[in-house]
Structure 1
Amino acid sequence: MNAAARALITVSAAFFMASAQAELPDPSRFGRAMEMGDIRSASRWLDEGLPPDFEADVTGSGLMIAAAEGNIRLMELFVERGANIDYVSRIGEQAIALAAWKGHQRAVEWLIERGASLNPPDKTWSALHYAAFAGKTRIVDLLLRNGAKLDARAPNLATPLMMAVREGNEGIVKALVDAGASTTAVSDRGENALAWALRYNRLKIATLVAPPENVAEAVSAPPVAAPPPPQASIPAPPEVSELLNKLRQAEAQGKPTEALRRQFMAAVERHRKTSAKQTVKAAPSALVISAKRGKAGAERAELVAGAATPAVQTLAEDAGAVDILRAIQAAQAKGQPTEELRRRFRAEVDKLRQSAQ
């Protein structure tokens, strides 16, 4: 083979490699495709050189998104292609924690069967933290049976028991206490489970985590201001949800969406009229709707009790990356803008990266 031929082959190889690389997704596109369970694209991207632990813009790696969605087939694909089953995302989360938080018991079992660790490094949110927070009783029991650390510490030193107390998950509080969880461990603010119970007005739960005399003494102390009660919501009916899902899929696949969009808005209007006749006891209600042409996943429809205060206005100034992520997810669920939250999230992640260097 002469020099000219070798040069031609080298140039051709470089061209095809560059073309393949150019087709790899950015974090946003990757995350959207994985949330939709697009196994075909995932397989193709991995074939073209996408790292198996590549992270999306918000949730984390492909395996983590699959776990959060309870998508076993997609989880299998990433693990078969070399994804780290215990991979910790840039905000300190793992696949098994997200599966536990979303209540996907089969996904949690699948990860445990393949050796996923239930006890991440200290000062990391564990699967037990997330299951206790989300009120997933069966998953809490599953994790405890498989050796999850009872008093694992989160970045703010909170224990799973504190998270269950915070959310008022009485059955889980009792299960953790019965299993031997510490009721005296304190957070980075020096507060134990009893303090959290009183802060969030969980008086019955307070009696589960402290002797009666301690509860009485704490109750007689100056009151600690509690956050406003959570707002009740009425989800959009199946018709709206189904049309919204079809609209997202059509946009992601580059198909025409005008007809679907008209159907979606008509269904939302019918829901609005029906909802106006309903009464939400928690507070006056409003139907939050968001629809942006040409932006996949932007359409939302949900009847929310109380004023729809943008999450960015209620998020503390010193909130960490995990708190901001939760605010993004809450805002998305309510159809609220997320651009400012995403900007803060990226800034916080950059801080974490700089501090780690």
Structure 2
Amino acid sequence: MNAASRALIAISAAFFFSSARAELPDPSRFGRAMEMGDIRAAARWLDEGLPPDFEADVVGTGLMIGAWDGNIPLMELFVERGANLDYVSRIGEQAIALAAWRGKRKAVEWLIERGASIDPPDKTWGALHYAAFAGQRDIVDLLIARGAKLDARAPNLATPLMMAVREGHESIARSLVAAGASTIAVSDRGENALAWALRYNRLKIATLVAPPENVAEAVSAAPVAAPPPPPPVSVPAPPEVGELLRKLRQAEAEGRPTDALRRQFMAAVDRHRRSSAQQTVRAAPSALVISARRGKQGAERAELVGAGATPATQTLAADAGAADILRALQEAQERGQPTEELRRRFREAVDRLRQSAP
């Protein structure tokens, strides 16, 4: 074989492989397909060379999206293809934490049984943080029983107990204290669980995390002022809202009319808002967030929240100067408007922050 023939073969091979690579998805396309539970697409892309820990535009890897959804077959596929059970996404989250946040007990158990760590790296949001923050009592009890680190520290040095106190989850705070969680650990602002309880006017919980005399002393020493409003808390949307949203996105993806479905969806959201306000004395949720913030044709899920999505997403948005983008993204999704450009800007802001980190 002469040199010209060898060169031609090399060029042809390079063209073939570059063409195959060109078929791999970008983060947005990958995220939408995984949210749709498209296991065939996932398997095909993995066969074509997609890294098993490839991240979608916002949530994370295929394994993490599966954990968020409780989609165990999707999780199985990625783990079989080499996905890292303990992979930490670019915004500092792990699959087990997302499953805990969403209350997906079977997914949490599945991950633990296959060797996923229940303890996050230091100064990382962990599964116990997220379960305590989201009020997932069942998951908190599971993690405590499995020996999770009770005083794991988040990026702001907050402990799971502080998260439960902040959100007013009394039974979870009680369980954590009974299990031995520290009541004197302090955050990066030098505040312990008692300080958090007083800041958010959780006076009943305050007596769980400090002796009565300490609570009385702290209250007496505090400046006289109107108590701040409790922090907004996550309120899971009822199945009706999620199902209508799924039908709406499916109709959009297939090019079918959506006006009637959109009216039903917004009516269901309004009913849930009113119901949430009546059922709690805390501040009513302020925004509808499409969990995972997918594009117009994705299989988004609805969740009413007051401050955004997971703590890591909120923190990254603030640190990256992308809080306005995140709010605009939430508003666009609530109105059914296109979100591709906002998603791109959010991802770029987070990537810039990562590149500038020491």
What is the TM-score normalised by the length of structure 1? Answer: 0.80
Which residue of structure 2 aligns with residue 199 of structure 1?
A: 199
Q: Distance in 1 between matches of 2:103 and 2:321?
A: 19
Q: State the AA in 2 paired with 1:151.
A: D
After TM superposition, give the deviation of residue 9 of structure 1 in Å.
Answer: 3.3
Q: Sort the Cα spacing of 1:6 and 1:289 in 2 relative to 1 into closer, same or farther, 3 A.
A: closer
The answer to whether residue 134 in structure 2 is matched with residue 122 in structure 1 is: no
Which residue of structure 1 aligns with residue 61 of structure 2?
A: 61
8 Å CA contact 2:123, 2:155 repeated in 1: yes
The answer to whether residue 256 in structure 2 is matched with residue 258 in structure 1 is: yes
Aligned residue for 2:57, secondary structure, equals: coil
The answer to whether residue 17 in structure 2 is matched with residue 17 in structure 1 is: yes
Which residue of structure 1 aligns with residue 149 of structure 2?
A: 149
- After TM superposition, the structure 1 = structure 2 runs for residues 268-287 of structure 1, keeping only pairs within 5 Å, are 268=265, 281=278
8 Å CA contact 2:246, 2:299 repeated in 1: no
Which residue of structure 1 aligns with residue 345 of structure 2?
A: 343
Q: State the AA in 2 paired with 1:350.
A: R
How far does the alpha carbon of each residue in 1:217-245 deviate from its partner, in whole angstroms, 9 at most, with x for none?
Answer: 1122215752465389895883x643431
> Which residues of structure 1 form unaligned runs of 5+?
none
Aligned residue for 1:319, secondary structure, equals: helix
After TM superposition, give the deviation of residue 310 of structure 1 in Å.
Answer: 10
Q: Sort the Cα spacing of 1:153 and 1:329 in 2 relative to 1 into closer, same or farther, 3 A.
A: farther
Q: Distance in 1 between matches of 2:16 and 2:109?
A: 41
Q: State the AA in 2 paired with 1:262.
A: D
How far does the alpha carbon of each residue in 1:45-89 deviate from its partner, in whole angstroms, 9 at most, with x for none?
Answer: 111111110111111111111111110000000000011111011
How far does the alpha carbon of each residue in 1:307-348 deviate from its partner, in whole angstroms, 9 at most, with x for none?
Answer: x9999xxx8999236995996699369716876687356324
Q: Distance in 2 between matches of 1:248 and 1:21?
A: 29
- After TM superposition, the structure 1 = structure 2 runs for residues 127-276 of structure 1, keeping only pairs within 5 Å, are 127-220=127-220, 221-223=222-224, 226-227=228-229, 230=232, 238=240, 241-252=242-253, 255=254, 257-259=255-257, 261-268=258-265
- After TM superposition, the structure 1 = structure 2 runs for residues 7-86 of structure 1, keeping only pairs within 5 Å, are 7-86=7-86
Q: Sort the Cα spacing of 1:211 and 1:63 in 2 relative to 1 into closer, same or farther, 3 A.
A: same
8 Å CA contact 2:165, 2:173 repeated in 1: yes
Q: Distance in 1 between matches of 2:242 and 2:248?
A: 10
8 Å CA contact 1:324, 1:345 repeated in 2: no
Greater RCO, 1 or 2 (C-alpha within 8 Å, sep 6+): 2
Q: State the AA in 2 paired with 1:245.
A: R
Q: Distance in 2 between matches of 1:219 and 1:82?
A: 53
The answer to whether residue 93 in structure 2 is matched with residue 96 in structure 1 is: no
Q: Sort the Cα spacing of 1:334 and 1:57 in 2 relative to 1 into closer, same or farther, 3 A.
A: closer
Q: State the AA in 2 paired with 1:136.
A: Q
8 Å CA contact 2:97, 2:127 repeated in 1: yes
Alignment RMSD (CA, Å): 4.2
8 Å CA contact 1:237, 1:271 repeated in 2: no
After TM superposition, give the deviation of residue 193 of structure 1 in Å.
Answer: 0.2
- Which piece of structure 1 moves more, 165-174 or 320-329? 320-329
How far does the alpha carbon of each residue in 1:228-284 deviate from its partner, in whole angstroms, 9 at most, with x for none?
Answer: 65389895883x6434313423545xx3x233x133135357769989999954799
After TM superposition, give the deviation of residue 16 of structure 1 in Å.
Answer: 2.1
After TM superposition, give the deviation of residue 187 of structure 1 in Å.
Answer: 0.3
Aligned residue for 1:190, secondary structure, equals: coil
8 Å CA contact 2:57, 2:343 repeated in 1: no
Q: Sort the Cα spacing of 1:335 and 1:236 in 2 relative to 1 into closer, same or farther, 3 A.
A: farther
- Which piece of structure 1 moves more, 23-32 or 74-83? 23-32
Q: State the AA in 2 paired with 1:352.
A: R
8 Å CA contact 2:37, 2:74 repeated in 1: yes
Q: Distance in 2 between matches of 1:9 and 1:18?
A: 14
How far does the alpha carbon of each residue in 1:283-307 deviate from its partner, in whole angstroms, 9 at most, with x for none?
Answer: 99999899xxx932499999x89xx
Q: Distance in 1 between matches of 2:68 and 2:289?
A: 25
8 Å CA contact 1:144, 1:150 repeated in 2: yes
